[in-house]
Structure 1
Amino acid sequence: MLGELRNETVVSYPAWAWGLVWAGFPLAGAGIGWLLKAVAGWIAELPWAPLKGVFEAVDKLDEPLATIGALAIGGLAGLVFAFLAAAEALTVTVSSGQAVLARAGKSRAVPRASVQVVFLDGKHLVLLGQAGEELAREPSDLEANRVREAFRQYGYPWRDGGDPYRDEYRRWVPETPELPSGADALLKARAKAIGKGDSSDAADLRAELVKLGVVVRDEKKRQYVRVVR
């Protein structure tokens, strides 16, 4: 959704998309619950079936309570996934003075005067500062044209060609020379976090690297770095 409020533009997901999330996830969950109940007996008979005891117990439940229970549990699980999706959705609010990126109850305000360039790097919205430092990098599934329109409307320097510093990145390996003191240790810790799939820790370590003047981009679990001069 793209809306204007008090000289600002808010970019979020359209109403029909939220309708699919809030209605579709519970319905899909209920469908999966019903399907699992329907095939519980067949799965329980398989010698290699995982959670064999659980499926045997489900198959022995009386009807119609078993089916009602399966639908209810599946629907509730779908509703939980819908809440998680809503919490992780990115909302971008752009005005002449600042851009605010909000997700999961947290927000980051970036003053317009500090922004050198705004662009999409794959599925990430990126704002760079006047020295090329990374001011914000947020995963985003928002419609690219609407995000572009919002920033251009208020005179932000939008770039369609992606990262203007892309050629300056070099693949990180341990003990890479010319990195600021402490950066190598942070990159080692971040490599472990990426390997374990800990995106929260990886994001925190990225923020620490930004403070040292190191910008990181990830490609297939490999880290590529550049140093802000």
Structure 2
Amino acid sequence: MRDGWQPAAATTVDGGGEELAVMWGGFPLAGAGAGWALVAAADWVTGLRWAPWQGLFELLARQPPRPAAAVAAAIGLAAGLLLAGVGTRERLIVAVDREQVRLRRDGAERSVPRRPVSAVFCDRKHLVVLGSAGEELARERGDLSRERLRDAFAGHGWPWQDVDPHDAAYRRWVEGLPGLPAGADALLRARQRAVDRDRRRDARELRTELARLGVVVRDQDRRQYWRTVTLPLRREEFSDGQ
């Protein structure tokens, strides 16, 4: 049992020990190395008048080399540790059994029961779970192995799909295009601004608002594509992807 949160019979899919080793070993070492290299290259960079951040490099070049390199490496190490901590909290952990799938990220946990699910698949870096009407019950971003996810879900009898079964139904959003429910065009316009500015929280919230109108949206190269669904009379919101 991992952290005591998954069912006893669940299959757990996460990044594993290798992912943690890269984050907690590689990130701090890379940060320390970058800090040391910054000081070591300061004299050379100050001779390149076209190079940016000349003020910073001139300041570094005036410092005693060894103490400056030690301080810069320590700062880089700390930055690497901070990045590793953030990465660990944001890593996606999936635990699936025959009754439900549990999704854990950043200390928060959500579950989707098996009964209403019609399809499970990977949409690029997102794990997507669809309901009986084709609505999204979950959309979680992560770098988990597609093969491991497929084996976990299919092994517990879930309807795994290699591709989105509704892929052909998506249309690229263009402002004013007919066919959208009332109010959806304004939400898509606001969401496009959030996507362009990389405001992921706003994009997630607006995705949820669109879902309430029966609009499923996905992103590709900062462009929005949409399709509509007829929602059940009662449904729970599980979606958390951008």
TM range (shorter): over 0.9
% same residue: 49
Greater relative contact order (CA < 8 Å, ≥ 6 in sequence): 2
CA deviation string 1:106-159 (max 9, x = no partner): 232111112111011122111000011011111221111211111122211111
Partner of 2:46: 44
**SS class of match (1:120):** strand
SS of 1:175's equivalent? coil
Q: Where does residue 78 of structure 1 map in the other structure?
A: 80
Which amino acid in the other structure matches residue 88 of structure 1?
E
SS at match of 1:159: coil
For these two proteins, the number of residue pairs brought into alignment is: 226
Amino acid at match of 2:14: S
* Local SS of the residue matching 2:190: helix
**TM-score, length of structure 2 as denominator length:** 0.88
3-state SS of 1:135 partner = strand
TM-score of the pair, normalised by structure 1: 0.92
Q: Secondary structure at the match of 1:194?
A: helix
SS at match of 2:158: coil
Aligned position for 2:210: 209
Aligned mates of 1:212, 1:104 — CA distance in 2? 28
SS at match of 2:148: helix
Work out whether 1:89 is the aligned partner of 2:101: no
* SS of residue in 1 equivalent to 2:20: helix
1:16-68 Cα offsets, whole Å, 9 max, x none, are 22112110111111111111110112222332332222211211222421121
Determine the C-alpha separation between the residues in 1 that align with 2:93 and 2:177: 37
RMSD of the alignment, in Å?
A: 1.7
2:104 is aligned, of 102, 105, 114, to 102
Separation of aligned partners in 1, 2:56 and 2:173 = 47
SS in 2 for 1:204: helix
Give 2:93's aligned amino acid: T
Match of 1:125 in 2: 127
Tell me the equivalent position of 1:219.
220
CA deviation after TM superposition for structure 1 residue 168, in Å = 0.9
Q: Structure 1, unaligned stretches of length 5 or more? A: none
| CA-CA distance at 1:5 after TM superposition | 5.5
1:113 corresponds to which letter in structure 2? Answer: R
